[in-house]
A and B are shown apart, each in its own frame.
Chain A
Amino acid sequence: GAGVSQSPSNKVTEKGKDVELRCDPISGHTALYWYRQRLGQGLEFLIYFQGNSAPDKSGLPSDRFSAERTGESVSTLTIQRTQQEDSAVYLCASSSLAGVPLGTDTQYFGPGTRLTVL
């Protein structure tokens, strides 16, 4: 079946511009997550959605970052007034929380969007 998809796969932008990154989770997955991976580093958590609410936004690095989710479907991560330090791969994941103990669900990752801010 279809996995998590993200678009665009690559985005090059100029410093100060706004960008929107899109994530399509696996159909039926209640939970959706955004992460950032800087070059040579592990994943940095950004935000978690359960349905269309975001119980945990603690990883968003600044108020330039925001995210929305429509129902249990598409999510958009928006970065306003991009800075060079925003350059990274942005990864989206989704999981089904149904019938599993808290914290044991498997997150399925998309291929990521590589953002380059010039």
Chain B
Amino acid sequence: AQSVTQLDSHVSVSEGTPVLLRCNYSSSYSPSLFWYVQHPNKGLQLLLKYTSAATLVKGINGFEAEFKKSETSFHLTKPSAHMSDAAEYFCVVSALTDSWGKLQFGAGTQVVVTP
């Protein structure tokens, strides 16, 4: 079975400082992994995805994530937080069934950015 755990429910950072959102997954095979962002009153937007190509994945808005099989992790980072990064972030694993890749969402990490 596949699952995903986001280790922090809330993260608070100062503008201009690095952001680290932690995600661990469990999978019996090499999974596809995603990070989505949800801004208040807006739909979910894909930040980046890993699909067994390069282990360091670059996404939109300066975010990147590194797939580490040995640690079963897919942490999301950004070197310098911006006020517009305040949102909820979801780590997602694609769990293969017989016919499709079912997304399993983590519980989310709420990011607060202070001036």
Q: How many A-B residue pairs have CB under 8 A?
A: 64
Complex: A80 Cα to B107 Cα, angstroms: 28
- B94 proximal to A (CB < 8 A): yes
Contact (Cβ within 8 A) B94 A45: no
CA distance A3 to B45 in the complex (A): 11
Given the known interface contacts A42-B90, A42-B108, A43-B90, the answer about A55 and B99 at a Cβ–Cβ threshold of 8 Å is: yes
Within 8 A of A (CB), among B56-101: 90, 94-97, 99-101
A55-B105 in contact (CB<8A): no
Instruction: Please indicate the chain A residues that have their CB under 8 angstroms from the CB of B94 in the complex.
Output: 103-104
- Inter-subunit contact A4/B43 (CB<8 Å): yes
Minimal Cβ-Cβ distance residue in B for A112: B43
Is A31's CB within 8 Å of the partner chain B? Answer: yes
By a CB distance below 8 angstroms, the chain A residues around B51 are 101, 104
10 further A-B contacts with Cβ under 8 Å, apart from A103-B100, A103-B101, are A42-B106, A42-B108, A43-B90, A43-B103, A50-B100, A93-B44, A103-B31, A103-B32, A104-B32, A106-B34
B-side residues, CB < 8 A to A, are 31-32, 34, 36, 42-46, 49, 51, 90, 94-97, 99-108
User: 20 A-B Cβ contacts within 8 A?
Assistant: A41-B107, A43-B103, A45-B102, A48-B100, A55-B99, A56-B97, A56-B99, A56-B100, A91-B43, A91-B44, A93-B44, A97-B100, A102-B99, A102-B101, A103-B94, A104-B94, A105-B101, A107-B46, A108-B46, A109-B43
